[in-house]
Structure 1
Amino acid sequence: MSSNYKTCLLIDDNYIDNFVTRRLLESSHFAEKIVVHQSATEAIQHIKKGELRPDVIFLDLRMPMMNGFEFLQEYDKLEGQYKSAGKIFMLSSSLDPVDVKRSSQNKYITQFIHKPLTQKILEELSA
Protein backbone atom coordinates (compact mmCIF):
# COMPACT_ATOMS: atom_id res chain seq x y z
CA MET A 1 0.00 0.00 0.00
CA SER A 2 1.40 3.40 -0.88
CA SER A 3 0.89 6.56 1.15
CA ASN A 4 -2.50 8.08 0.42
CA TYR A 5 -2.06 10.81 3.00
CA LYS A 6 0.66 13.28 3.87
CA THR A 7 0.04 13.54 7.64
CA CYS A 8 -1.97 11.16 9.80
CA LEU A 9 -2.82 12.15 13.38
CA LEU A 10 -3.53 9.46 15.94
CA ILE A 11 -5.21 10.68 19.14
CA ASP A 12 -5.57 8.07 21.89
CA ASP A 13 -4.75 8.16 25.60
CA ASN A 14 -3.70 4.49 25.63
CA TYR A 15 0.04 4.07 25.06
CA ILE A 16 -0.21 0.41 23.99
CA ASP A 17 -3.02 1.12 21.51
CA ASN A 18 -0.96 4.00 20.08
CA PHE A 19 2.11 1.80 19.76
CA VAL A 20 0.25 -0.99 17.94
CA THR A 21 -1.76 1.36 15.70
CA ARG A 22 1.27 3.46 14.82
CA ARG A 23 3.28 0.34 13.85
CA LEU A 24 0.43 -0.84 11.63
CA LEU A 25 0.10 2.59 9.97
CA GLU A 26 3.87 2.77 9.42
CA SER A 27 4.22 -0.76 8.05
CA SER A 28 1.29 -0.14 5.70
CA HIS A 29 2.74 3.17 4.48
CA PHE A 30 -0.67 4.69 5.19
CA ALA A 31 0.75 8.22 5.44
CA GLU A 32 4.08 9.92 4.87
CA LYS A 33 4.10 11.21 8.47
CA ILE A 34 2.34 9.80 11.53
CA VAL A 35 1.89 12.04 14.56
CA VAL A 36 0.67 10.60 17.86
CA HIS A 37 -0.88 12.52 20.75
CA GLN A 38 -2.08 10.92 23.97
CA SER A 39 -4.18 13.99 24.74
CA ALA A 40 -6.96 15.46 22.60
CA THR A 41 -6.37 18.80 24.33
CA GLU A 42 -2.73 18.79 23.27
CA ALA A 43 -3.61 17.75 19.71
CA ILE A 44 -6.20 20.50 19.23
CA GLN A 45 -3.73 23.09 20.57
CA HIS A 46 -1.14 22.07 17.95
CA ILE A 47 -3.77 22.31 15.23
CA LYS A 48 -4.94 25.74 16.47
CA LYS A 49 -1.37 27.05 16.39
CA GLY A 50 -0.93 25.81 12.82
CA GLU A 51 1.86 23.45 13.94
CA LEU A 52 -0.07 20.38 12.81
CA ARG A 53 -2.07 20.01 9.60
CA PRO A 54 -3.31 16.40 9.46
CA ASP A 55 -5.26 15.29 6.44
CA VAL A 56 -6.53 12.19 8.24
CA ILE A 57 -7.23 11.68 11.96
CA PHE A 58 -7.83 8.51 13.96
CA LEU A 59 -9.62 9.70 17.10
CA ASP A 60 -10.30 7.71 20.26
CA LEU A 61 -13.65 8.35 21.90
CA ARG A 62 -13.11 7.83 25.61
CA MET A 63 -10.23 9.86 26.95
CA PRO A 64 -9.71 11.89 30.14
CA MET A 65 -9.90 15.70 30.13
CA MET A 66 -11.21 15.94 26.55
CA ASN A 67 -13.03 13.03 24.90
CA GLY A 68 -13.41 12.48 21.17
CA PHE A 69 -16.71 14.35 20.89
CA GLU A 70 -15.32 17.31 22.85
CA PHE A 71 -12.34 17.33 20.46
CA LEU A 72 -14.78 17.52 17.55
CA GLN A 73 -16.59 20.46 19.18
CA GLU A 74 -13.27 22.32 19.43
CA TYR A 75 -12.35 21.28 15.90
CA ASP A 76 -15.66 22.71 14.67
CA LYS A 77 -14.72 26.10 16.16
CA LEU A 78 -11.49 26.28 14.15
CA GLU A 79 -11.25 28.60 11.19
CA GLY A 80 -11.33 26.93 7.80
CA GLN A 81 -7.61 26.99 7.07
CA TYR A 82 -6.95 24.85 10.18
CA LYS A 83 -9.54 22.21 9.28
CA SER A 84 -7.21 20.29 7.04
CA ALA A 85 -8.45 16.81 7.89
CA GLY A 86 -10.27 15.37 4.94
CA LYS A 87 -11.24 12.32 6.96
CA ILE A 88 -11.70 11.69 10.66
CA PHE A 89 -12.16 8.11 11.81
CA MET A 90 -13.51 7.44 15.30
CA LEU A 91 -11.33 4.55 16.52
CA SER A 92 -12.82 3.22 19.73
CA SER A 93 -13.36 0.13 21.83
CA SER A 94 -16.80 1.43 22.82
CA LEU A 95 -19.65 -0.97 22.15
CA ASP A 96 -22.28 1.56 23.21
CA PRO A 97 -24.81 1.96 20.35
CA VAL A 98 -25.30 5.60 21.42
CA ASP A 99 -21.62 6.31 20.67
CA VAL A 100 -21.87 4.67 17.24
CA LYS A 101 -25.07 6.59 16.42
CA ARG A 102 -23.65 9.89 17.66
CA SER A 103 -20.54 9.32 15.55
CA SER A 104 -22.61 8.61 12.44
CA GLN A 105 -24.49 11.88 12.97
CA ASN A 106 -21.33 14.00 13.32
CA LYS A 107 -20.46 15.84 10.11
CA TYR A 108 -16.73 15.33 10.62
CA ILE A 109 -16.72 11.58 11.27
CA THR A 110 -16.12 9.55 8.13
CA GLN A 111 -16.53 6.18 9.85
CA PHE A 112 -16.70 4.56 13.29
CA ILE A 113 -14.09 1.80 13.59
CA HIS A 114 -13.99 -0.66 16.47
CA LYS A 115 -10.52 -1.26 17.90
CA PRO A 116 -8.18 -2.74 17.04
CA LEU A 117 -7.35 -1.25 13.66
CA THR A 118 -6.32 -4.05 11.29
CA GLN A 119 -4.53 -4.33 7.97
CA LYS A 120 -7.82 -5.36 6.33
CA ILE A 121 -9.60 -2.23 7.62
CA LEU A 122 -6.73 -0.03 6.43
CA GLU A 123 -6.93 -1.58 2.97
CA GLU A 124 -10.69 -0.90 2.88
CA LEU A 125 -10.11 2.72 3.94
CA SER A 126 -7.51 3.19 1.21
CA ALA A 127 -9.62 1.67 -1.55
Structure 2
Amino acid sequence: MAASYHTCLLVDDNYIDNFVTRRLLESSNFAQNIIVTESPTEAIQMLEDGTVKPDVIFLDIRMPQMSGFEFLDAYDKLDFNKADTKIFLLSSSFDPTDIKRSDDNKYITHFVHKPLTYKILEELP
Protein backbone atom coordinates (compact mmCIF):
# COMPACT_ATOMS: atom_id res chain seq x y z
CA MET A 1 0.00 0.00 0.00
CA ALA A 2 1.38 3.41 -0.96
CA ALA A 3 1.85 6.05 1.72
CA SER A 4 -0.95 8.58 2.01
CA TYR A 5 1.42 11.51 2.45
CA HIS A 6 4.99 12.36 1.56
CA THR A 7 6.14 14.00 4.80
CA CYS A 8 4.62 14.06 8.27
CA LEU A 9 5.99 16.27 11.05
CA LEU A 10 5.19 15.21 14.62
CA VAL A 11 5.68 17.95 17.25
CA ASP A 12 5.23 16.76 20.84
CA ASP A 13 7.39 17.27 23.92
CA ASN A 14 6.63 13.77 25.27
CA TYR A 15 9.15 11.13 24.18
CA ILE A 16 6.85 8.17 24.90
CA ASP A 17 3.91 9.73 23.00
CA ASN A 18 6.25 10.40 20.07
CA PHE A 19 7.54 6.83 20.12
CA VAL A 20 4.05 5.32 20.14
CA THR A 21 2.65 7.74 17.54
CA ARG A 22 5.64 7.30 15.24
CA ARG A 23 5.31 3.50 15.38
CA LEU A 24 1.62 3.75 14.55
CA LEU A 25 2.27 6.11 11.63
CA GLU A 26 5.04 3.85 10.31
CA SER A 27 3.04 0.63 10.63
CA SER A 28 0.05 2.21 8.88
CA ASN A 29 2.28 3.54 6.07
CA PHE A 30 0.81 6.99 6.72
CA ALA A 31 3.73 8.93 5.20
CA GLN A 32 6.95 8.21 3.32
CA ASN A 33 8.90 10.38 5.78
CA ILE A 34 8.08 10.88 9.43
CA ILE A 35 10.02 13.60 11.21
CA VAL A 36 9.72 13.85 14.98
CA THR A 37 10.76 16.68 17.25
CA GLU A 38 10.14 17.34 20.92
CA SER A 39 10.80 21.04 20.35
CA PRO A 40 8.20 23.30 18.75
CA THR A 41 10.83 26.01 18.25
CA GLU A 42 12.99 23.50 16.36
CA ALA A 43 9.95 22.60 14.24
CA ILE A 44 9.37 26.28 13.40
CA GLN A 45 13.05 26.63 12.47
CA MET A 46 12.89 23.57 10.19
CA LEU A 47 9.79 24.98 8.49
CA GLU A 48 11.32 28.43 8.19
CA ASP A 49 14.58 27.27 6.62
CA GLY A 50 12.80 24.75 4.38
CA THR A 51 14.54 21.62 5.69
CA VAL A 52 11.08 20.13 6.29
CA LYS A 53 8.12 20.56 3.94
CA PRO A 54 5.35 18.52 5.54
CA ASP A 55 2.01 17.56 4.04
CA VAL A 56 0.78 16.86 7.56
CA ILE A 57 1.70 18.14 11.02
CA PHE A 58 0.57 16.45 14.23
CA LEU A 59 0.88 19.09 16.94
CA ASP A 60 0.53 18.77 20.70
CA ILE A 61 -1.09 21.67 22.58
CA ARG A 62 0.52 21.62 26.00
CA MET A 63 4.28 21.89 25.72
CA PRO A 64 6.53 23.78 28.17
CA GLN A 65 8.72 25.62 25.67
CA MET A 66 5.92 26.83 23.37
CA SER A 67 2.27 25.77 23.35
CA GLY A 68 0.64 24.42 20.22
CA PHE A 69 -1.27 27.68 19.89
CA GLU A 70 1.94 29.71 20.20
CA PHE A 71 3.42 27.42 17.53
CA LEU A 72 0.46 28.28 15.28
CA ASP A 73 1.06 32.02 15.84
CA ALA A 74 4.70 31.56 14.76
CA TYR A 75 3.61 29.31 11.88
CA ASP A 76 1.27 32.05 10.66
CA LYS A 77 4.25 34.40 10.25
CA LEU A 78 6.23 31.95 8.09
CA ASP A 79 6.48 32.80 4.42
CA PHE A 80 5.51 29.72 2.43
CA ASN A 81 2.37 28.21 0.93
CA LYS A 82 0.46 26.69 3.83
CA ALA A 83 -2.55 25.59 1.79
CA ASP A 84 -1.08 22.14 1.11
CA THR A 85 -0.35 21.36 4.78
CA LYS A 86 -2.88 19.75 7.10
CA ILE A 87 -2.43 20.36 10.82
CA PHE A 88 -3.99 18.00 13.31
CA LEU A 89 -3.91 19.01 16.97
CA LEU A 90 -3.03 15.82 18.82
CA SER A 91 -3.76 16.33 22.49
CA SER A 92 -4.98 14.68 25.66
CA SER A 93 -6.84 17.91 26.49
CA PHE A 94 -10.60 17.82 26.84
CA ASP A 95 -10.67 21.51 27.79
CA PRO A 96 -13.55 23.12 25.86
CA THR A 97 -11.44 26.28 25.47
CA ASP A 98 -8.73 24.31 23.62
CA ILE A 99 -11.30 22.67 21.37
CA LYS A 100 -12.96 26.04 20.62
CA ARG A 101 -9.59 27.66 19.87
CA SER A 102 -8.74 24.81 17.52
CA ASP A 103 -12.11 25.16 15.76
CA ASP A 104 -11.46 28.88 15.32
CA ASN A 105 -7.91 28.48 13.96
CA LYS A 106 -7.70 28.59 10.17
CA TYR A 107 -4.72 26.22 10.03
CA ILE A 108 -6.13 23.37 12.10
CA THR A 109 -7.77 20.66 10.02
CA HIS A 110 -8.99 18.58 12.94
CA PHE A 111 -8.61 18.14 16.72
CA VAL A 112 -7.54 14.59 17.62
CA HIS A 113 -7.60 13.20 21.15
CA LYS A 114 -4.62 11.11 22.24
CA PRO A 115 -3.81 8.36 21.80
CA LEU A 116 -3.80 8.24 18.03
CA THR A 117 -5.23 4.93 16.75
CA TYR A 118 -5.58 3.19 13.39
CA LYS A 119 -9.31 3.94 13.47
CA ILE A 120 -8.69 7.67 14.02
CA LEU A 121 -6.13 7.70 11.18
CA GLU A 122 -8.65 6.12 8.83
CA GLU A 123 -11.26 8.76 9.72
CA LEU A 124 -9.04 11.82 9.36
CA PRO A 125 -10.26 14.36 6.80
* Residue 5 of structure 1: how far off its partner (Å): 0.6
Residue in 2 that maps onto 1:34: 34
**Matched residue SS, 1:80:** coil
The match for 1:48 is: 48
Count of equivalent residues: 125
Overall identity of the aligned pairs, in %: 68
Describe the SS at the equivalent of 2:57: strand
Counterpart for residue 99 of structure 1: 98
Query: How far apart are the structure 1 equivalents of 2:83 and 2:26?
Result: 21
Matched, 1:116 2:115: yes
The Cα of 1:80 is off from its aligned counterpart by 2.4
CA contact (8 A) 1:3 1:31 kept: yes
- For residues 62 and 85 of structure 1, do their structure 2 counterparts lie closer, same or farther at Cα, with a shift above 3 Å needed? farther
Alignment root-mean-square deviation, CA: 1.3
Q: CA deviation at 1:85?
A: 5.0
| CA deviations over 1:73-96 (Å, ceiling 9, x no partner) | 011001124x37520000000110
| Runs of 5+ unmatched residues, structure 1 | none
1:12 Cα shift? Answer: 0.2
Runs of 4+ that moved beyond 4 A: none
Change (3 A) 1:13 1:87: same
Give the SS at the match of 2:109.
strand
The TM-score, its normalising length taken from structure 2, stands at 0.95
Gaps of 5+ in 2: none
Report the 3-state secondary structure (helix = DSSP H, G, I; strand = E; otherwise coil) of the residue aligned with 2:124: helix
TM-score, length of structure 1 as denominator length: 0.94
Q: Assess, with a 3 A threshold, how the Cα gap between structure 1 residues 4 and 125 changes in structure 2: closer, same or farther.
A: same
Q: Distance in 2 between matches of 1:49 and 1:109?
A: 22
